[in-house]
A = this chain, B = another copy of it.
Amino acid sequence: MPANEEKDPPRRRQARGERRIAQLLEAAASVFCTTGYTAASTNAIAREAGVSPGTLYQFFPNKEAIAVELGGRLVHEMQETYGEALAPVDPTTPLEQAVGTIVDRFIDFNCRHPVFFALMHGPDIPGRIAEQHDALHTTLVARVENLLRSLMPAAPQSAITRVAHMALGMYMAGLELILAHEGTERDAYVQELKNALVRYLDPLVGAGLGLPDGLTTAPSP
Contacts and interface: CB of A to CB of B under 8 A. Distances in A.
Contacts of A203: 195, 199, 215, 219
A188 interface: yes
Nearest to A169: B173
In the complex, the count of this chain's copies comes to 4
Nearest to A118: B126
A26 B127 CA distance: 20
Contact of A173 (B96, B125, B173, B192): B173
Main secondary structure of the interface of A (DSSP, over half): helix
Interface in A86-102: 95-96
A199 B201 CA distance: 9
Contact of A193 (B166, B184, B199): B166
Given A213-B220, A214-B218, A192 B163 contact: yes
Contact of A195 (B36, B117, B127, B200): B200
A169 B177 contact: yes
B129 A36 contact: no
